[in-house]
A and B are shown apart, each in its own frame.
Chain A
Amino acid sequence: MNVQRREALKAGGGLGLFGLLAAAGLITPGQARAEWNKSAFDAKTIEETLKALGAGKPENSTDLQLTAPDIAENGAVVPVGVVSTLAGIEAIAILVEKNPNPLAASFLLPAGTEAYVQTRVKMGQTSDVYALVKVGGKFLMTKKEIKVTLGGCGG
């Protein structure tokens, strides 16, 4: 009996399992998408979030529309949409100023995808909501105040 051969087989078997996990997608090989932007989602203020997103000081723009109700009865489900007439928008982000972490979501739009996204966010209290877009290397934003009558956190 060749003991070394046994050990080598065992080690080989272990590696095989690792390869299988990688192949099955449990260990994701970097696809054509960015890592989840932890620093931006963990930021506590609008300024920190903008910095983490590399947006600096975005200009206000009237070519952006934030579609949301003026008053949200239930802060747990606030429909928010961002629409723009500008061409070539590369990314959209939605920020809620007074949430513990302002960044709610960010969207990367490959060429051919329209500047139109809609989702639903949680809001702890009445707050300004910002729509931020990246177009041609520049950042633009617009904001709207949404009044919340019933908070979406804990309660």
Chain B
Amino acid sequence: MADPMKIRASAKEGVTEVKVLMSHEMETGQRKDSSGNLVPAHFITEVTAEHNGKQVLAAQFGTAISKNPYLAFKFKGGAKGDKLAVSWVDSKGDKRSDEVLIG
């Protein structure tokens, strides 16, 4: 299981801003290790966010997203204390979900 995500969600004047920092190597499959062998690709492919069970964002990532991906977005609605869940799946089928309360 991968390390937990850091998620901040704050509601202000009816709009919730979400910032997520995921912990992932994001190997592109183009890098070589010290002995010259290609390091196989291993990266997050899909990220979804749900506010109280309703999807507010569905993202697909390629290999060009930086290591330990950062993602910020905003959606209308959301109040303090609401649940916000973020999940990702990577190219090897690993997955991680974390949940925070909107502050």
Contact = CB atoms under 8 A, between A and B. Distances in A.
Interface in A50-101: 76-79, 81, 96, 99-101
Given A36-B46, A112-B77, A105 B31 contact: no
A41 B62 contact: yes
B60 A96 contact: no
Interface stretch (A6-14, A113-121, A133-141, A142-150): A113-121
Contact of B31 (A81, A110, A116, A154): A154
A118 B71 contact: yes
Interface string B69-92: 111111111000000000001000
Interface of B: 15, 28, 30-32, 45-46, 48, 54-67, 69-77, 89, 93, 95
B65 A120 contact: yes
27 contacts: A36-B60, A76-B66, A76-B67, A96-B64, A104-B61, A105-B62, A109-B57, A110-B54, A110-B55, A110-B57, A110-B58, A112-B56, A112-B77, A113-B56, A113-B73, A113-B74, A114-B74, A114-B76, A118-B73, A119-B71, A120-B65, A120-B66, A122-B28, A122-B64, A122-B65, A153-B31, A154-B32
B48 A33 contact: yes
A106 interface: yes
Q: Which range holds the interface residue count of chain A?
A: 35 or more
B44 to A, nearest CB: 10
A108 B58 contact: yes
A2 interface: no
Nearest to B20: A119
A112 B15 CA distance: 9
Contacts of A34: 58, 60
A32 B55 contact: yes
A154 B29 CA distance: 10
B74 A116 contact: yes
B66 A153 contact: no
A54 to B, nearest CB: 14
A79 B66 CA distance: 9
A107 interface: yes
